[in-house]
Structure 1
C-alpha cells in the first residue's frame, strides 16, 4: 500500500510529457472540524495517487487546504470523489485561467497543526463564524464606497506584483504578522467602516474575517474565491477588472496575469518587470523579481556571488552548502541586501 510519493520531480516531468495530456491546476479549501487528520490524509493519498493527482495539500483539525493539478479527462472522477466526502460536497474549486501541465510535480499531502499558520492561541475564536462573502460585482461596488477599507491579506512579495485599485497592502512577511498589525491600524474604525478583504483563493480572508468579527469589527466582508474566482467572473461576465498586474500563485508558474499593467520592477536593474524567480544557487534559492536581461547576465542568480558559486563543480557546491540552511534567505523573499532595487 503506497502512502507517499516515490518519484523525483524530474521523473514525474518525463511521465507528464510522455502522456501528452492536458492538466488542470486547481485549488480549494474548507474549514471543518476533522477528528483524525492523519486518517483523512492517508485516505486522500490512496485515492488521488491512482488518479495522477499532483500537488501540495495540508490537512489539519481545522480543515483542508489544497493546491493541485489533475489530468483534465479525470476531473469528473475527482469531483465525484470529493462530493462523497460529506464536508467537501460541492466545495468551490478554483480552476486556474492559465494552465501549466507542470505546475506541480509531486503529490505531497501533509498533516499540519493548522491549514493556515496564524500564531493564534485563542480557544474562544471560532473560525467558522466568518464574514459576508461577496462576488465580483458586489466587490467592485464595495471598493468604490468611501466608507470601505480594502485590505490585501497577502504578503508583501505577492501584492508587489499585483493588487486591487484602492487597496491597502500591508508590508508584512507572513499572514500571522498581518492579523494584529491590521487590527491595530484600524482599531478606531471597528464600527464606522466596512472592512473588505481579499487574498489569492479566499482561505486567508475566511480566517481573517472570522478573527476580526471576534475582535469587534461589525461590518466584515471578503471576496469569495479570492482573486482567482474574481478573474473568472470578470472574464465570463464582462465586468470591469479592477485588479492591476499579476496574481502571485504558489506553484511552479509563480503568477497569473490578471490586469494589463506591470506595477513592479526588476530587483536588480530597476526596469519594469513582474516576473518572480528563485536564485539558481541552491544554497540561496532567494525568491526575487528578475527581468530577462538580468536573468541572462547573471544566469538566474540574485548576485555575482551566487553566480560564481554555480560555476563550481557540483560536489564543491554541495560541500559549501553542508551545515548551512537557506531558510532565512528564502523567507526574505525579495528583501535581500544583494538586491539594489528591492521594494523598501
Structure 2
C-alpha cells in the first residue's frame, strides 16, 4: 500500500528544493463542484501529484478543490492530462501560471477541509455557483476608467497594502471570513451600482460575487483568473497593466512584482518598501514589511525587543 503523506522533515525538503536546478512552474487552480467522498478524492490526488513531483498545498472539500502548487516544467502536461481526465468537472479546468517561477514550495500537502475557502456562510441554500459576470483585461481597463463603477479588493489588508488597483475599496480584514461579514453592510449603498470584485487567482472573488448576488446586488462582475489572470491576459493582448505594486502570494516568494511602483512602507523606518518578511524571533514570527536597511539594523526582527531575545 502506498504511503499517502510526507515522511521527510520539512527542513530537509527545503534544503533539497533550493539545491535543485531543474526548472519548475508555480501554478494555482480551483473549482467549485460537489465531491462526495473527499477522503478518496484526496488520496488519489496525493498519489498522482507525488508521482509527478508536485509540491504545494491542495485543499479538498465537499464544495470543491483549491490548489497552489509547484511542478517540474517537464511534468506540466502530464499533470494537466491527469486533472482533465480525473473528473468531468475538471475537464478544461483553468490553471493559472504564476507571474514568476522563483522557488515557492518544498513539500506536498493534500488536506480534506470543511470548505476550500473558509467563509463563515451558514445558509444552506446559498449557491456558490450563482456568480457574477466574468470579465477580462480589456473590459477591466475600460471599467477602471469609469468613476461610477466600484472596484472591491477581496483580499486581506496585508495583501492590499503592497499592491491593488487604483481607488479599489479595501475591506479591512485579516481573513476572508471576516471580510465577507463586513462586505454587505459596508456596500449596502451600492445595491444598484456596477461592482467589480477581484482577488489573487479568482477563488475568493468568485464566492464573494455569489454572496453579493445572494444578498440582492444587481450588477456584479469579477475578474477571470483574478490578478494573475488579468496580468497574463493584458500582456498577451498588448494592453496596459493597470494594477499597481506587487501581488501578494501565499508561498515562499510572498510577492510577485507587477509594476515598478512601490506603494507601501517599511514598518520600522516608514521608507518605501514592499518586501514582506516574518520576524526571525520564532515566538513572534510576525509578518511585516521591512526595507533592506532595517533588515540589517534589526537583524530580520520586527522590533528591538525581538532582536534582543534571539
The normalised TM-score by structure 2 is 0.97
**Matches for 1:34-49 after TM superposition, within 5 Å:** 34-49=35-50
The structural deviation recorded for 1:17 is 4.7
Say which is worse superposed, 193-202 or 181-190, in terms of deviation.
181-190
**For 1:265-284, what aligned pairs fall within 5 Å after superposition?**
265-284=265-284
Partner of residue 70, structure 2: 69
Q: How does 1:143-158 map to 2 (within 5 A)?
A: 143-158=144-159
Partner of 1:59: 60
Question: Structure 2 CA distance, aligned partners of 1:161 and 1:18?
Answer: 30
The aligned residue for residue 175 of structure 1 is: 176
Q: Distance in 2 between the 1:211 and 1:68 partners? A: 27
CA spacing shift, 1:264–1:17, aligned 2, 3 Å: closer
Alpha-carbon offset, residue 19 of structure 1: 4.4
Superposed counterparts of 1:292-303, under 5 Å: 292-303=292-303
Deviation for aligned residue 1:246 = 0.3
Whether 1:87 aligns to 2:89 is yes
Q: 1:184 Cα shift?
A: 1.0
* In 2, Cα distance between equivalents of 1:37 and 1:130: 24
Deviations 1:55-114 (A, max 9, x none): 0111101001100000001001010100112211111111112111x3101101111100
Aligned length: 308
Structure 2 Cα separation of the partners of residues 13 and 111 of structure 1: 24
Consecutive aligned runs of 4 or more in structure 1 exceeding 6 Å deviation: none
What is the 5 A alignment of 1:193-212? Answer: 193-212=193-212
Deviation at 1:52, TM superposition (A): 0.7
- The SS at the match of 1:122 is coil
Report the counterpart of residue 318 of structure 1 in structure 2: none
Gaps of 5+ in 1: 311-344
* 1:110 counterpart residue number: 111
Q: CA deviation at 1:18?
A: 5.0
Aligned-residue CA RMSD (Å): 1.1
Gaps of at least 5 residues in structure 2 are none
Matched, 1:13 2:22: no
- Match for residue 250 of structure 1? 250
Cα gap change, 1:18 to 1:256, in 2 (>3 Å):
closer
Secondary structure of 2:170's counterpart equals coil
Answering whether residue 287 of structure 2 is matched by residue 287 of structure 1, we say yes
CA–CA distance in structure 2, aligned partners of residues 292 and 9 of structure 1: 27
Q: SS in structure 1 opposite 2:208?
A: helix
Q: Is the 8 A contact 1:34 1:63 kept in 2?
A: yes
CA contact (8 A) 1:8 1:106 kept: no
| Partner SS, residue 84 of structure 1 | helix
1:49 partner SS: helix
1:221 corresponds to = 221
Q: Distance in 2 between matches of 1:115 and 1:232?
A: 25
The secondary structure found in structure 2 opposite 1:13 is helix
